[in-house]
Structure 1
Amino acid sequence: MSYPRECWYVAATIDEVGDDFLARRILGTPVVLYRLADGSIAALEDRCAHRPYPLSAGSRDGDCIICGYHGCTYDPDGTCVRVPSQDKPPLGARVRAFPVHVSGPFVWLWMGTPGSARLRPPAATPELASEGDWSSTGERRRVGAGFLLLHEHYLDLTNVFEMHAEMVPPGIEALPPPEEVEISEVSVSYARELPQAPLAPWESAVSGLDSAETFSRRETGTFVTPGLHRQTYTIGGADGPLLELVRLHGFTPETERTTHVFLQLAWRGTAVAADAGPRLAEVFHLMADRDSAVLETVQRCLDEDEAPRRYVNVKADRAAIRARRIVQSMIREEQGL
């Protein structure tokens, strides 16, 4: 197993889940999500308890799911309440129901030990709350790479000079080393200050600031949980922040080699262009396209290696290495090792 299960993961965005069934593989498990009459969301294992047939290929009877094979019917708790060919369902016939937590645009799913979900609430994402002065936009994609490769990629932004040169402010030829690196048993974060520099074209477009002036920047990155990565980017002026940008990635393993990515961008500030939303969405969509292509190539190379190969680490890998150790420690703990 290459991912921990005792963790909340994003299964969908709120606008994806409606009256129709949404089928998705999460942590190698088929899951079906759908909205109940009261507006809440149910999530069941997407397999009939009678025969291996997806419940998502069936139909609804109110809040219940009717299997499209033999008609076995399940309530939102996963209990089989009807078998057409007999008077009562077999004792104990049920499918697993997964705890669901909705926060902002994210639909979180708990697939760990039953009953433990309430002891570990999902990570907070205050920038995505409906109230407050933040605006946000997002997208979802599937990347053909293991989720740890994605975490490591976004914990080392030194690749920006090779992969996203147009994002770098003019005159900055190298990222300064992180000034702050905080490591705990469950999270890793870093922060760095960039020197004063003029605006890159994308910064000027989303802020409306004068591209001839120079500004400071502060950048941070955090491995929050195995299911969430958070980055911030702040353009500062003489009197404080002018534009704050937060990029949240929900990384959810589909399998050991594929990952659902739920990207949300949030922004606020005194310097925000009227069309900042679509401009940011376009810029970071193109970035994600390039990132995905590189990560899928890395995964393919790993799969093609005939024998495990040791790759060297550099100083910029410090946060990524620690995040990998945290994940490995969580997996060992779950396995009782």
Structure 2
Amino acid sequence: MRSNYPFNCWYVAATSVEVGQGLLARRLLDRPVVLYRRSSGDVVAMEDRCVHRAYPLSAGRRDGDRLVCGYHGFAYEPDGCLVDVPSQENVPPGARVRSYPVHEQPPFVWIWLGDPGVAALRPPPRVPWYADGTGWGSTIEVLRVEANYLLLHEHYLDLTDVFVMHPEAVPPDIEVLPPLDEVEVSERSVSYGRVTPPSRLAGWEAQVTGLPAETVGIRREEGTFVSPGLHVQHYVIDSEDRRAYELLRIQGFTPESPAATHVFLQMARNYATEDDHVAEFLRAMFGDWALRDSAVLASIQRRLGEEAVPRRDINVKADRAAVRARRIAMEMVDEETGRFALNRILATS
């Protein structure tokens, strides 16, 4: 059974602070990967498997910038080339493990697990609202959800579940979310927007902004499927003081396997940027919400795994952006699958 994630795409492999002088093992797109930093500070990513026997290189050690297998001592350069076999003088010609293109764009380390020749033509995505981060405060979280990555994209492209799952987040004067104002689709991305009617602040909004609870404002909500590996939510409170209180949830969704996903979450705000109490409040609140979301998505994943014959779910109006995002991801997979099949035919003809 083929995966539903494309390989020719940048995904977040780790946060910058996770990758140090030690060896970080991580499974990405169902492939074992080991990451570490060279003495120069550059990040290295390579296949986490010795070419001699299937021992994880992440269980070995560093020797300068080289990686030494913990089984028989085979040594590898950062580009994956085998350069030393302790039991003999010569090294088998061409022996190497695969190395992967990486790009560090703090707070994330991006990795390309597909065709290396294509990586240079497609730089990692950027978040236009955030720019260089000036005037923003942010926090970082790393989570793991036992659900397919597309379930997460679909979940965050349709927030109508908030009344059931997170009622404390809803402003007191809003009983139903207005329909999406628009859904914009490009070749590889989907975005939606909606504006709520004026209402008083929810408790959490008052606490983090410092505004009185009776303050009336509108909310501008935007969600973007930037790529299969990146999802961004932009939540803005336009208050009576004519200031825009902006909150960004920048989420790297990286498949660990077809049934599990690494989530790299950066929350950025343009208010109370130096207030540690606000940062901790938002971190704890969204952490609690993420646990609830994860439990629901994991339950869906288990039920899907129990079905011998896949069933076709119905869609409603609120699913417009989610349906289009899934279609884009599958079109990318189909494109890769077709190209691979064609290359295999040409190679054998």
Deviations 1:285-311 (A, max 9, x none): 111010000000000110112321121
**2-side partners of 1:271 and 1:204: how far apart?**
16
Match of 1:117 among 116, 119, 122: 119
5 Å-filtered alignment, 1:47-66, equals: 47-66=49-68
CA-CA distance at 1:272 after TM superposition: 8.8
Q: Which residue of 1 aligns with 2:288?
A: 286
CA-CA distance at 1:27 after TM superposition: 0.4
Native 8 Å contact 2:135 2:273 kept in 1: no
Unaligned runs of 5+ in 1: none
5 Å-filtered alignment, 1:246-285, equals: 246-269=248-271, 275-285=277-287
The TM-score with structure 2 as length reference comes to 0.93
Q: Which residue of 1 aligns with 2:28?
A: 26
Q: Which residue of 1 aligns with 2:213?
A: 211
User: Superposition RMSD on alpha carbons, in Å?
Assistant: 1.6
Deviations 1:108-160 (A, max 9, x none): 00111012211101111356666511110021111100000000000000000
1:335 aligns with 2:333: no
In structure 2, do the counterparts of structure 1 residues 41 and 127 end up closer, same or farther at CA, with 3 Å as the change threshold? Answer: farther
Native 8 Å contact 1:193 1:219 kept in 2: yes
Deviations 1:89-122 (A, max 9, x none): 1011000111111112101001110122111011
5 Å-filtered alignment, 1:136-285, equals: 136-238=138-240, 240-269=242-271, 275-285=277-287
CA-CA distance at 1:241 after TM superposition: 3.6
**2-side partners of 1:102 and 1:200: how far apart?**
37
**1-side partners of 2:88 and 2:44: how far apart?**
27
Q: Which amino acid aligns with 1:77?
A: D
Q: Which residue of 2 aligns with 1:38?
A: 40
Deviates more, 1:262-271 or 1:7-16: 262-271
CA-CA distance at 1:274 after TM superposition: 6.2
The TM-score with structure 1 as length reference comes to 0.97
Native 8 Å contact 2:137 2:274 kept in 1: no
**1-side partners of 2:143 and 2:273: how far apart?**
30
Native 8 Å contact 1:104 1:129 kept in 2: no
Unaligned runs of 5+ in 2: 340-349
Deviates more, 1:58-67 or 1:304-313: 304-313
Q: Which amino acid aligns with 1:328?
A: M
**2-side partners of 1:90 and 1:128: how far apart?**
48
Native 8 Å contact 1:144 1:299 kept in 2: yes
Q: Which residue of 2 aligns with 1:302?
A: 304
**2-side partners of 1:274 and 1:74: how far apart?**
43
SS of 1:275's equivalent? Answer: helix
CA-CA distance at 1:213 after TM superposition: 2.0
